[in-house]
Structure 1
């Protein structure tokens, strides 16, 4: 019984292509997407009809969906707004951020989230500061 060479190499090919490991490291290039990096530094703002995140030194602004981490940030924002007697107080955070498909919920298409560059969820907040560090200022939106 003769076995063809292509038939014997097929399992090896499938094993190698199924186990590729990416060694690409995120760069400081502005074209880097949220999906390519896990830890982010930026400014979170919460208030009446607002739940947003803006990465440090970038003009993009993201709508933040409700998660346990963002619920905790909302409570901090409320306390901060009450103590400063002013709404929409920024909070500097370092956290994991994950993109959310806009088509997964109607509010992302026709609600408040529709006015933002993308929709994200915030998880695993490792740093939260009520004073914004000088290295993380809000960039002006160009549109």
Structure 2
């Protein structure tokens, strides 16, 4: 009987570790520019490299690119306060010195909810 409980317990544990992560609502400051796509949450001292597998960040990045153009180089890295649903993908692996590997974690944005200029 004990081996059966042990087998069931092990199967349950392995089954729980394979759950897909669901997007979570995040709020904080997003900074964008040449080779920069950094998010700092309001409630923790972490820096995430932000990206999107869909077009979720396109509107925000276009707005910030226009800010860079209008500033004529005086503000090459503008920031906004942003709210979005995203998935924390954890610490990036170091891959030939890619920029995201210098940050605490990767964040995959699935949907932007709100953008506020400072």
Does residue 44 (structure 1) correspond to residue 33 (structure 2)? The answer is: no
Residue 124 of structure 1: how far off its partner (Å) = 1.1
Residues 1-143 of structure 1 mapped to structure 2, 5 A cutoff: 38-67=24-53, 68-85=55-72, 86-100=75-89, 102-103=92-93, 106=95, 110-131=97-118
Q: Provide the TM-score with structure 2 as the length reference.
A: 0.68
Distance 2:63 2:22 in 1: 29
Distance 1:72 1:53 in 2: 16
Distance 1:44 1:129 in 2: 10
Q: Provide the TM-score with structure 1 as the length reference.
A: 0.58
Residue 36 of structure 1: how far off its partner (Å) = 8.2
Calculate the aligned-residue CA RMSD, in Å: 2.8
Secondary structure, counterpart of 1:69 in structure 2: coil
Structure 2: give runs of 5+ residues left out of the alignment: 2-7, 13-20
Q: Once the two structures are superposed, what CA deviation does each residue of 1:38-83 show, in whole Å capped at 9, x if it has no partner?
A: 1111111111111111101432100112441122221111012223
Structure 1: give runs of 5+ residues left out of the alignment: 1-5, 7-12, 18-34, 132-143
Relative to its length, the structure with more strand (as a share) is 2
Distance 1:116 1:41 in 2: 18
Distance 1:51 1:84 in 2: 18
Distance 1:66 1:106 in 2: 19
* Total equivalences in the alignment: 100
Residue 123 of structure 1: how far off its partner (Å) = 2.0
Distance 2:116 2:67 in 1: 11
